[in-house]
Structure 1
Amino acid sequence: MLYSLLANVTANLDPGPEAYEKILFGLFIVISICSFFYINCVLLFTLRSKPVFCEKSRFILLFNLLFADTFQQVPNLLLYILACFNMKIPFDACGFLVLLCLATDLISPLTLAVMSVERYVAICLPLRHATIFTVSSTGMVIAVVWAFSFIHILIRVFMLVHTFTIIPFNPHMNDFCSKEAMFFAPIFNDFEKVYASILFVSVGLAIIGSYVGVALVATSASTDKASARKVLQTLLLHLIQLCLVLTSSMFSTIIIVIARTVRRLTIVRIYNVCFVFLSILPRCLSALIYGLRDQTIRPVLMHNLCCGGRTSAFPQQEPVTI
């Protein structure tokens, strides 16, 4: 995110209505992040509260997706607050926060791809689903996903070390902490374009392929129409979520282009709106897609959100697959 641009713009706003609007925007974003963070944490607790959630692959994959999205919200919020208050931090501290954001940046799209394939197998190959997606195989897939994320971080770190062999290293940052301030060399721009393109194409093909496969099988007379329809809706939501997550990688470029033609306050407004819809919302859609739509999770989640109220604790009937 272009936190440095936000800090430079908001630092020059004069006291008055514009300053109050800036404060309201900031409060809205902080409250939004905290609210989604609370819901995600409750859903994470819910997914560990019943044995069935620890034994089915789709719930294990959902836990991994939610953990990565929830984990990323914390450093994102810290970077946003630092930019709003125009606070500069040492290069090492900035690098730590930025790498925390990037550590789970790859987890969400890859997990979405695996979850889509799992839903495809559940509908198109129901007899083989239990043998393909076991607890151990799901754990191995999650380990591979995190390994790819770790490799992604190592590549960036090696590129950064190579950059500082060419130019002198300055431990005191001249700009506000952001991904752009950390990875400022032109080589990182090329890496970002290749990385985003490969990720979007590969994960997009996995989700679209799963959607087409389920759609074709849904026309069969022997297929459960209700289950297939819910899976198609879930895969479509996964594709929308993927587009939002990958669009956020182009956020900086969009803001820089807009900043050349509009007023400073307009930049702040656009930045905050994009931050909510491109950075926060995609990381919180999982709680809405599964927490509210899944008939197994929803009663337990509502029970936990209500702090143990009189909500029905757990359904006895077999849930409808999504």
Structure 2
Amino acid sequence: MSNNTSVVGGQISKRNINDKVIIVQILVGIFLCINSMLIATFFTKETFYTNMRYILFVTTLFSDYVNLIISNLLLILSYFAIPIQTWPCLFFCFLSSLCNYVTPLTLTAMSLERYVAICMPLRHAELCSTARALQGVLIIHSLSFIPYTVIFFMLLSSVTFSFFTQHIICSVESLILHRWQGHVRSAVSQFYFLIMCILNAFSYFQIMKVAKAASGNNKESTRKGLRTVILHAFQLFLCLIQLWTPFIEAAVLQTNVNVFINVRYINYILFNLSPRCLSPLIYGLRDEAFLLALKQWLFAGAHLQLMFRARSGICC
């Protein structure tokens, strides 16, 4: 289909597939391929899935992978103004909201792990064990579940069962029916925003203190950890801005649906896709052990493919 027509607010809205749609699909496809390769590399060596920082790293990869698929689907539905039933919309919004919080919370945990590794090296093995890492992942997902639970119960208190059988343009904003619900959602997001900023700033300043006092090889290692935390802070900043974009989009939605769709598209590029491309850079390409494993995995895959082709040629 080259175009799609649907009813929005009693008016016919028709949008064609254009460069915007194609660019997003290309970017999403590239990031999904990169994340797939990194996830596959994670499972090639036992040292990765028994190390806390790599466990947290793959948690962000899985979260980003699911988020890219779901958010891209929601973007397409809203861009072409395709209404869907409320029940599946609730499920899609749940996954999107969950991933939106999992990534920044995991980044905060990764910054704290670097703080422990550099500022408390003697206790790092104890505090950052595999069991602690799995407990941390469970806590992260539990905390990420809370904001959407608040939204869901606020929705239940405001609608009848018939609302869930209606067809709507799917977005979290469509589930916020009253101003007070938006205020509660804003308060929850601001609380998470504040806590994550405080924890990341704490890690940064503590590592910076150690960096100033360190010397020799230890100083170089500390500086590398400091650069990692800075990159985490930048990525976290983009992710946290993403928590604020729905409030801008909600205000725009009240005025003009077409402007809302354009604003949502820009926010998606800047604050959804951009942070997702930094995870592979920080712990994929900058980490020597992981980069070596990735090269070995790619080389092994290419070698097997050449052997398969050679055997197929002989058989023929």
Q: Which TM bucket (shorter chain)? A: 0.7 to 0.9
Q: 1:87 to 1:179 in 2, by over 3 A?
A: same
1:53 counterpart SS class: coil
Q: Name the amino acid aligned to 1:231.
A: G
Determine which structure has the larger helix proportion and give its number.
Answer: 2
Counterpart check, 1:189 vs 2:182: yes
Query: Which residue number corresponds to residue 114 of structure 2?
Result: 119
Q: In the superposition, relative to structure 1, how do residues 98 and 296 fare at CA in structure 2: closer, same or farther (>3 Å)?
A: same
Deviation at 1:282? 1.5
Structure with the larger strand share: 2
Whether contact under 8 Å (2:75, 2:265) holds in the other structure is: no
Report what 1:143 is aligned to: 138
Match in the other structure for 2:154 = 159
> Aligned letter for 2:224?
K
Aligned twin of 1:210: 203
Q: Tell me the CA shift for residue 252 of structure 1.
A: 3.6
User: Any idea what the Cα deviations from partners look like across 1:42-100, whole Å, max 9, x if unmatched?
Assistant: 11111111111012111111111211121111111111122233211111111111111
CA distance in 1, matches of 2:195, 2:215: 31
Unmatched 5+ stretches in structure 2: 1-6, 304-316
Deviations for 1:262-316, whole angstroms, at most 9, x for unmatched residues? 996x876554332111112213321121111111111222444567347xxxxxx
> Which structure is higher in RCO with an 8 Å CA cutoff and minimum separation 6?
1
Any conservation in 1 of the 2:239–2:271 contact (CA below 8 Å)? yes
How many Å apart are 1:155 and its aligned residue? 2.5
Q: For 1:162 and 1:8, how far apart are their aligned partners in 2?
A: 25
- Candidates 36, 46, 50, aligned match of 1:55: 50
Q: Distance in 1 between matches of 2:241 and 2:28?
A: 19
How many Å apart are 1:172 and its aligned residue?
Answer: 4.4
Displacement after TM superposition at 1:194 (Å): 0.9
Inter-partner Cα distance in structure 1 for 2:168 and 2:81: 10
Q: Which amino acid in 2 is paired with 1:98?
A: C
Q: Corresponding residue for 2:275?
A: 282
Q: 1:255: Cα distance to partner? A: 4.5
Percent of aligned positions with the same letter in both sequences? 29
Return the TM-score normalized by structure 1.
Answer: 0.82
Matched-pair contact (CA < 8 Å) for 1:88–1:173 = no
Q: TM-score, normalised by structure 2?
A: 0.83
- Taking the aligned partners of 2:198 and 2:144, their CA distance within structure 1 comes to 20
- Give the whole-Å Cα distance in 1 for the aligned partners of 2:265 and 2:112: 34
Q: Return the alpha-carbon distance in structure 2 between the equivalents of residues 227 and 46 of structure 1.
A: 24
Q: Is the 8 A contact 1:69 1:284 kept in 2?
A: no
Amino acid in the other structure paired with 2:201: I
Given that residues 117 and 206 in structure 1 are in contact (C-alpha distance below 8 angstroms), is that contact kept between their aligned partners in structure 2?
Answer: yes
Letter in 2 for 1:127: L
The answer on 1:236 being equivalent to 2:249 is: no
What is the count of residue pairs matched by the alignment?
295
Equivalents in 2 of 1:84, 1:306: separation in Å? 40
Greater mean alpha carbon deviation, residues 148-157 or residues 195-204 = 148-157
CA offset digits 1:242-264 (Å, max 9, x no partner)? 22112122224434667899996
Please name the residue that 2:194 is paired with. 201
Q: How far did 1:187 drift?
A: 2.9
Does 1:35 find its partner at 2:30? yes
Distance 1:36 1:262, change over 3 A: same
Aligned in 2, Cα 1:272/1:71: closer, same or farther, shift over 3 Å? Answer: same
1:297 aligns with 2:284: no
Query: Given residue 211 of structure 2, which amino acid in structure 1 is its aligned partner?
Result: A
Q: Structure 1 residue 130: deviation in Å?
A: 0.9
**Contact 1:303 1:309 (C-alpha < 8 Å) held by counterparts:** no
2:173 aligns to what?
180
The C-alpha deviation readout for 1:150-182, integer Å capped at 9, x for no partner, is 333333222221122xx6742444641111112
SS in 1 for 2:163: coil
2:245 matched to 1:251?
A: yes
Greater displacement, 140-149 / 50-59? 140-149
Structure 1 residues 110 and 263: CA distance shift in structure 2, 3 A: closer
Match of 1:314 in 2: none
Aligned equivalent of 1:96: 91
